[in-house]
Structure 1
Amino acid sequence: MSAWRYLWRARDIRRKLLITLGIMVLYRLAAHVPVPGVNRAALAALLEGGGAAGTLVGILDLLSGGTVSNFSVLAMGVYPYITAQIILQLLVPVIPALKQKMEDDPREGQQWMERWTYILAVPMAALQAVSQIRIFGSFAGTPIIPTFGFSGGAILPSLAIIFSMTAGTMFAIWLGELISEYGIRNQGLSLLIFAGIVARIPQNLARLLTGPNPALLLTFILVLLALIIFVIVIVQQGQRNVPVMYPGRRVGRRMSMPVKGSLPLRVNMAGMIPLIFAQSLLTFPAIIASFFVTSETPWVANLAISMQNVFGGNSNWYWLIYFLFVVGFTFFYTDVLFAQQNYGENLKRAGAQIPGVSKGEPTQRYLTRVLRRITLPGALFLGAVAVIPFLVSLVVPLGNQSGILLVSASGLLIVVGVVRDLFFNIDAELKLHGYDEKLLVR
């Protein structure tokens, strides 16, 4: 028998699970609070229209847990916070003062990072709210919120809409922090995203069963789900164990033999971050172009419309650029994270050495080369996950049912990762409370 049979008996663990479930239910209730003045007919037509733009909106709807289709105050989810966190992580190795701050006192540096992530998330949320409203309006061909604008009597309602969507994002971030502090540790934001994706599955399944050829489509999707889950597990669990020799320890007058260990390097060290950041980078040119669409200069207006079509998801080129961005940013983000961990110096301080490699900087260069080689399949995998909805829509014409395939790509990558982390987290909690299978009396 496994120690998991005591999951509900442990009072502390039961309390954490109930708090987590309660906060997730509260988040799902808040996800149904709509932004005032939304043109629901135009939004529904955009979601059902298909094409590159419809697929992009479907991705945003999936990752936000259906809040985009409702255009609720939580339509942006917690992604402005994640984007702000990524930006600060990338600035640390670029700005020497920040790098020195993180190295001198890692705990104080982490607190500084968390504080400024919250501060930066506010303008990021406001900017994303404006961009989401304008881009959706350009996709639909009619304003999603007719009263939105920054001239005349529309200024006050527009500011109220931006403030409400920004407040919704900060409320979601606060709920995630409550889960991490009082519920499942360090899983708050991940569980909120997970809850949103899982909440969309029954609705997508109902749409599938009421559409044409439900048996054929259901069989196709189940096979695709099983295949992608298998590949995700293989890639996420894949790692390269680099052999490391640790020095022996002195016990009295005797010196023990050196200990042989290993340093695991993961194939996909970046996780889901490259997909999120690549999408944010691709959306930014469309945001800038949206301000010049109504320009009186013809060539400026035409250029703005072209940029909106390419970077807004209306063009097939968007998916090629998205794939290349995801692959490139996977390498870049992995290099940044690995450089911050500085394994070469840490192994040198511990007296450890990789056989055949000098200590210190040569070790760091060797590990970086190894990591870049094994990152290639991980980067190509993430790029394929990003464009699977578009590729499947080319092979199988599913019309307005194409959105359901998103669960088998980006959504499944998040779901599998969260379930795996949740399993290890709860298992560690059980062992911490003494419910270890090896120690239990049968």
Structure 2
Amino acid sequence: MKRSAWRYLWKSKDIRRKLLISLALLAIYRFASNVPVPGIDRELVSQLTRTSGAAGGLINLLDMLSGGAVSNFSVLAMGVYPYITAQIILQLLIPIIPALEKKMQDDPREGRAWMEKWTMILTIPMAVLSAIGQINIFNAILGQSVAVRFGFSGDVLIPTLATLLSMIAGTMFGVWLGELISEFGIRGQGLSLIIFSGIVSSLPRNLVTLVTDPTWWWLIFIVVTLLVVTIYAIVYVQEGRRHVPVMFPGRRVGSRMSMPVKSTVPLMVNMAGMIPIIFAQSLMTFPTILASFFVNSKTKWVHNLALGIQKVLGGQGVIYPILFFIMVVLFTFFYTDILFAQQNYGENLKKQGAQIPGVARGAPTQRYLTRVQRRITLPGALFLGVVAALPFALGLLLPPDLQTTQIFLVSSSGLLIVVGVVRDTFSIIESDLKSHGYDDRLIS
């Protein structure tokens, strides 16, 4: 009788140590998210999440992305999203600048080191812009009241610098914790687990809000049903594969030649995972932060344009879910193309002497597989876009008083991230179990 290898999870000292380190670092991150930046008015900041309209939608969106750190203006109010924005900028530059693309292809290891170095450097100016933008947004929403004394002259210069340095240090601290998790904990999952912890941390609060609401408490049954159906659909699509047939040549064993071996190249329907959702959310909030610099402009058209951007990208209205859907679909294709090009199936299959029937080896194989990958990516990209934009679209149909409750407990885009992170983490742990000899196929 076969027994699951997962029952031996705590028997391996190495895996147990990695899990405990990851949990400890995540606990430190959640503790730091409750440390407020210096010089803020906590009472005024607490009013931000209760703001209605487009401004309230924007604040609630930022609060969800930061795991509740915005509602108390923590040093981690920006989360690790400046780092992700820096990654987006560099990855957009790679296909545009031939020298960068050549660097990444010629020596992938050196290319990754270059990417990590410049992503960290670019994170600092991105964090500065994001911090100034968030403070401007908060002060603009509160009107005459000021949550943070902010300016670069007079007696507010020192408090301003202290606030900015605290927020930038918080972001870099979060990135550092993520790197520690990837290195000493669950490999490669550091930043994903940091974002995951922020999203999941809002679940208990939203559940209590829904259950204790005397008008809409009965919706908990519908919410649970929606969550189960959505999670099933996400897992179903994430596990989708297209198996492309490939023939490996026979090998000589002594004086005899073995027959060619039939195999397949599995191509994923959603190769990009939850990364397009994170990219789209970061890129959608960035223009709003930039617009905050010009919302108080004395030039009328500049002022109106800044207000328009904040209104459109504030998480409410018809335009936002449409833009969000388009951004997710585009980023899915973009990121899938980058990942697929890095794997270079054509050259790798050629080195092994393998061939897809009817397709020449080398570059023609790569072009053929790229066409197949793009075709199967289309339904995956559309699915991601629909699920990501669904809560915003449904919110337009709900009664106004119902929109104030957290009916979905967590946004479907957040749910995509959560399911993707859990799935990837389980796969990594399972592979570690097998590498330590705890394979369920061998245990009986």
Root-mean-square deviation (CA, aligned residues, Å) is: 2.3
1:428 match: 431
1:188 match: 190
1:306 match: 308
Q: Say if 1:305 and 1:439 are closer, same or farther in 2 by CA, change over 3 A.
A: closer
Distance 1:161 1:354 in 2: 59
Aligned partner letter, 1:391: A
State the 1:284 CA deviation: 3.5
Which deviates more from structure 2 when the two are superposed, residues 244-253 or residues 231-240?
Answer: 244-253
User: Superposed, which structure 2 residues align to 1:26-175 within 5 Å?
Assistant: 26-141=28-143, 145-175=147-177
| Structure 2 gap segments, 5+ residues each | none
1:416 lines up with 2:419 in the alignment: yes
Aligned partner letter, 1:2: S
2:351 match: 349
Post-superposition CA distance 1:327-382 (Å, at most 9, x none): 22222222232223322222223222211222223222222222222112211122
- TM-score, scaled relative to structure 1: 0.92
Distance 1:333 1:436 in 2: 33
Distance 1:190 1:222 in 2: 25
1:322 match: 324
Which deviates more from structure 2 when the two are superposed, residues 166-175 or residues 321-330?
Answer: 321-330
State the 1:12 CA deviation: 2.0
1:250 lines up with 2:243 in the alignment: no
Q: Say if 1:324 and 1:138 are closer, same or farther in 2 by CA, change over 3 A.
A: farther
Q: Say if 1:403 and 1:208 are closer, same or farther in 2 by CA, change over 3 A.
A: closer
Distance 2:154 2:320 in 1: 35
1:206 match: 208
SS at 1:356's partner residue?
coil
User: Which of the numbers 354, 360, 363 marks the counterpart of 1:361?
Assistant: 363
Q: Say if 1:314 and 1:417 are closer, same or farther in 2 by CA, change over 3 A.
A: closer
Contact 1:243 1:263 in 2 (8 A): yes
User: Superposed, which structure 2 residues align to 1:228-267 within 5 Å?
Assistant: 228-267=230-269
Contact 1:38 1:146 in 2 (8 A): yes
Contact 2:203 2:409 in 1 (8 A): no
Post-superposition CA distance 1:172-208 (Å, at most 9, x none): 1111111122222222112222222222211111111
User: Which of the numbers 24, 33, 39 marks the counterpart of 1:22?
Assistant: 24
Could you tell me the percent identity over the aligned residues? Answer: 63
Distance 1:283 1:415 in 2: 20
Q: Say if 1:185 and 1:281 are closer, same or farther in 2 by CA, change over 3 A.
A: closer
Which deviates more from structure 2 when the two are superposed, residues 289-298 or residues 124-133?
Answer: 289-298
Distance 2:411 2:265 in 1: 32
Aligned partner letter, 1:15: R
Contact 2:433 2:439 in 1 (8 A): yes
SS at 2:266's partner residue?
strand
Contact 1:228 1:408 in 2 (8 A): no
State the 1:140 CA deviation: 4.8
